[in-house]
Structure 1
Amino acid sequence: MIETFFSEISLINFLFLASACFCAAFVDAIAGGGGLISLPAFLAAGLEPHMALGTNKLAASFSTVGSALKFARSGKINWSLIKYFIPFSFLGAVLGVKSVMLIDSKYLYPLAFGLLVFVLIYTLKNKTLGNVSNFEGTTSKTLKLGMLMAFALGFYDGFFGPGTGSFIIFAFIKIFKLDFIQASGNSKFLNLASNVASVITFIYFGKIAYIYSLTIGIVMLIGATTGAKVAVTRGTKFIRPVFLVVTTIVTAKMALTFLQQF
């Protein structure tokens, strides 16, 4: 496999792709937004858009598994909470991938951009948001909101992707009053569900370059495990500013891409 991979891509391009995807996985494990780095890197490697989406999803699944396991071992996952939402995230992602095979993902740019701007402004204005966990269990209302959130963001992740982690973290904080580190940990398992569903669907459509995704996936696994370890060690006060920086960059990148369409 390695020989085939290097016959398709030069060493310099591999080092660029590996470095970009390591950084993507590291950042994503802490605050989401890694797709902003990894997806363009796969596109720059010469993969056509749908193939890049599928290949990125499989590689990112390695990343999500690594960070999810680290958060789980550190006791930052509320299993009694997320068990309700994983099936909705999975279903949403399947429908999202099926939709993106028919519709250009550019049509989600305005909506995603608007939501990211809202998340950024709201988090900046509410300086204590996510600093302390005030989770007091679930109600019928919060469960329904959580299921809707999981389905909608699962669909978005399968259809497009950038900013999904940030959206899920923000939703866990707003709906269930978790702190940043708990929200980040729980978000990884919803992300994992949508990633697995997306990968299965992309495999069905034959849109994964396995040589790329499996090789780079190992690099992303290392990056994600490292990032999650840093997040768990440094805590909420570290995650919040990283979250704000990542969300700002994702928002700016999406704004630039949207403007370039005109």
Structure 2
Amino acid sequence: MDTINTLGLFVGSLLSNTLASLSGGGAGLIQFPLLIFLGLPFAIALATHKVASVALGLGAAIKHLRSGTLEWQLALYVILAGSLGAKVILFVPGRAAEAMLGLLILGLGLYSLTKQQLGQHAAPCHRDRYGYLLGALCLSSIGILNGSLTAGTGLFVTLFLVRWFGFDYKQAVAPTLVSVGLFWNGIGAATMYLSGAEIYWPWIPVLLLGSLLGGYLGAHLATKKSNALIKRCFEILTFIIGIKLLLGL
């Protein structure tokens, strides 16, 4: 790659991962299409994006650990609940599947938009044995989607933690990024590699740097900004990703 393309790849990775780290998901919104635009086939771009996304979780984890905003018990629960599902890679990004996913993600954004107080204040619920068991089943299902999709599963986990367990957005974003970004994506990337998926290694260093810095910067903003801003960023990303998938852009 020439200098201009390398710089574009870094800026795109930095921007997408900063937004994802702030709102709890959606790094593939910019990063994945950028890889295809620069010439990678769909399957190679997906595998390469998954590897790079691990650095998003690492960057976010470093910042949240330093800030003391990461609830390790919750993060460990999400990691264990979704890891089994994250090992299952479904290569089904057909147009019908993409359109259905787009509608579902748009639904997430609309739901959040119509619930003005959603995630603004913690309101603990479903934190008993039955609630955690059902929550684990739901997270495992999201983990399956995570291995197969380009963007959006972190947004599912963020809203699920807010809606099902009653966390506010700040509480939900930190464990989501560590669990999905670092562990689920790591498992998914390893599974894709072992199953024979090709990764374009020459671009990995630039993507890792952009993802790491973006993850840290977004986590820094998340600890400083209000739940209202994080909620609004979440909604904007769901609308953009949903429309993109629905229209096949």
TM over 0.5: yes
The answer on 1:179 being equivalent to 2:171 is no
The alpha-carbon deviation at position 60 of structure 1 amounts to 1.1
Match of 1:151 in 2: 140
Structure 2 unaligned regions, length at least 5: none
Deviations 1:63-84 (A, max 9, x none): 1210122123322222223323
The correspondence for 1:47, drawn from 35, 40, 45, is 40
The answer on 1:199 being equivalent to 2:189 is yes
Alignment of 1:1-262 (within 5 A): 9-31=1-23, 32-96=25-89, 99-100=90-91, 103-135=92-124, 138-191=127-180, 192-204=182-194, 205-257=196-248
The CA distance in 2 between the partners of 1:134 and 1:77, in whole Å, is 18
The alpha-carbon deviation at position 136 of structure 1 amounts to 5.7
User: Taking structure 1 as reference, are residues 95 and 44 closer, same or farther at Cα in structure 2, changes over 3 Å only?
Assistant: same
The alpha-carbon deviation at position 58 of structure 1 amounts to 1.0
User: Taking structure 1 as reference, are residues 225 and 38 closer, same or farther at Cα in structure 2, changes over 3 Å only?
Assistant: same
* Counterpart code for 1:46: G
User: Taking structure 1 as reference, are residues 158 and 105 closer, same or farther at Cα in structure 2, changes over 3 Å only?
Assistant: farther
* Counterpart code for 1:77: L
The CA distance in 2 between the partners of 1:177 and 1:168, in whole Å, is 13
Structure 1 outlier segments of 4+, above 3 Å: 103-107
* Counterpart code for 2:116: K
Deviations 1:143-193 (A, max 9, x none): 123212221111111011311121111000011100011111111122122
User: Taking structure 1 as reference, are residues 153 and 136 closer, same or farther at Cα in structure 2, changes over 3 Å only?
Assistant: closer
Tell whether the 8 Å contact from 2:57 to 2:179 is kept in structure 1 after alignment: no
* Counterpart code for 2:61: A
The alpha-carbon deviation at position 135 of structure 1 amounts to 2.5
> Number of residues paired by the alignment?
246
* Counterpart code for 1:203: Y
Deviations 1:117-164 (A, max 9, x none): 221121111100000012267212321232122211111110113111
Equivalent residue of 1:131, what SS? Answer: coil
Deviations 1:33-72 (A, max 9, x none): 1111100011112111111111111111111210122123
* Counterpart code for 1:113: G
Tell whether the 8 Å contact from 1:90 to 1:193 is kept in structure 2 after alignment: yes
Structure 1 unaligned regions, length at least 5: 1-8
The alpha-carbon deviation at position 203 of structure 1 amounts to 2.1
Equivalent residue of 1:95, what SS? Answer: coil
Q: Could you tell me the TM-score, scaled by structure 2's length?
A: 0.92
The CA distance in 1 between the partners of 2:41 and 2:93, in whole Å, is 13
Tell whether the 8 Å contact from 2:59 to 2:215 is kept in structure 1 after alignment: yes
Equivalent residue of 2:88, what SS? Answer: helix
- Please, what is the CA RMSD of the aligned residues? 1.8
Q: Indicate the larger mover: 54-63 or 140-149.
A: 140-149
Q: Could you tell me the TM-score, scaled by structure 1's length?
A: 0.88
